Amino acid sequence: MDIILLGPPGAGKGTQAERLVKDFSLSHVSTGEIFRAELKNATPLGEKIKKVMATGGLVSDDIVLEVVGSHVKKNESLNFLFDGFPRTVPQAEGLDKILATSSRELTAIVYVNVSDAEVVRRLSSRRSCKTCSSIYNVATGPFPAAGQKCSRCGGDIVERADDKESVVKERLSVYRTQTAPLIDYYSGIAPRKFIETDGSAPIDEVYDAIKAAVKDRLAGGR
């Protein structure tokens, strides 16, 4: 059972991912997190992708597919939740091949739909923990602990460099041109597995809708 979480930056995918991972015993594969770790550790890959990440562009499909392909191969016994991947149609086609090679199949593609205006509003008030990457939002919550410390690990809360307004606008435009075509791609090739939710609803409501729909797909329903 593998699931894809799709939606613009700031749709709340990270928050929903945490819950899905727990309830369905999934292994969270966030390509954004993987790349941020490469940057933090100043690896050769980190050096290669530094500029494109800082400006809100996309890492090349070849690199992304190589990273995800080897991760899937190394952890074949796990069920995956892909978050922030695929991001382009060629990545989706590459994922189809990766899954087919290991006789795996997608259970659901969860699309969290949020307007551009809401994305800009949310991301400009989003903060994250420097240590454990937990997400906070100074306008809508969850709020960090006093002194801008992480409520989970006590780490420092910072604004991600790519959450600055100019970069957010670039990320959104990249999303609309390169990632949004995946909505047609998946609703076309896998209409029964495609789940659309209104991401502007309260977090718990969005999650309840996603959870019920995933359960339904697992039971083989429509």
Catalytic residue positions, numbered: 13, 87, 126, 160, 171
Applying CB under 6 A, does 53 fall inside the site for ligand AMP?
A: yes
Applying CB under 6 A, does 126 fall inside the site for ligand AMP?
A: no
Q: Which sign does the torsion angle of CA 196, 199, 201, 206 carry? A: positive
Applying CB under 6 A, does 133 fall inside the site for ligand AMP?
A: no
Cα→Cα distances 213→35, 109, 159, 198, 216, Å:
30, 10, 33, 13, 5
Residues belonging to the chain: 222
Instruction: With H, G, I as helix, E, B as strand and everything else as coil, classify residue 196.
Output: strand
The CB-of-67 to ligand AMP minimum distance in angstroms stands at: 9
Residue with tokens 């435009």: 173
Site for ligand AMP (CB under 6 A): how many residues?
17
Q: Which is nearer to ligand AMP, 58 or 129 (CB)?
A: 58
Structure tokens at 150: 């992480």
> Which of 122, 126, 127, 171: binder of ligand AMP (CB under 6 A)?
171
Distance CA 159, CA 173 (A): 20
The CB-of-54 to ligand AMP minimum distance in angstroms stands at: 8
Q: How deeply is 31 buried, as exposed, middle or buried, from its count of CB atoms within 10 A (0-12, 13-18, 19+)?
A: buried
Applying CB under 6 A, does 9 fall inside the site for ligand AMP?
A: yes
Strand (E) or helix (H) holding 129: strand 126-129
Distance CA 115, CA 107 (A): 26
> Which of 17, 29, 64, 150: binder of ligand AMP (CB under 6 A)?
64
Stretch that binds ligand AMP, among 49-57, 102-110, 185-193, 199-207 (CB under 6 A): 49-57
Distance CA 197, CA 15 (A): 14
CB of 24 closer than 8 Å to CB of 213: no
Q: Which is nearer to ligand AMP, 9 or 144 (CB)?
A: 9
The CB-of-154 to ligand AMP minimum distance in angstroms stands at: 23
List phi, psi (to 5°) of 153.
Answer: -120, -5
Applying CB under 6 A, does 98 fall inside the site for ligand AMP?
A: no
Applying CB under 6 A, does 31 fall inside the site for ligand AMP?
A: yes
Q: Which is nearer to ligand AMP, 12 or 32 (CB)?
A: 32
Q: Which residues here bind ligand AMP, judged by CB under 6 A?
A: 9, 31-32, 35, 52-53, 56-59, 64, 84-85, 87, 91, 162, 171
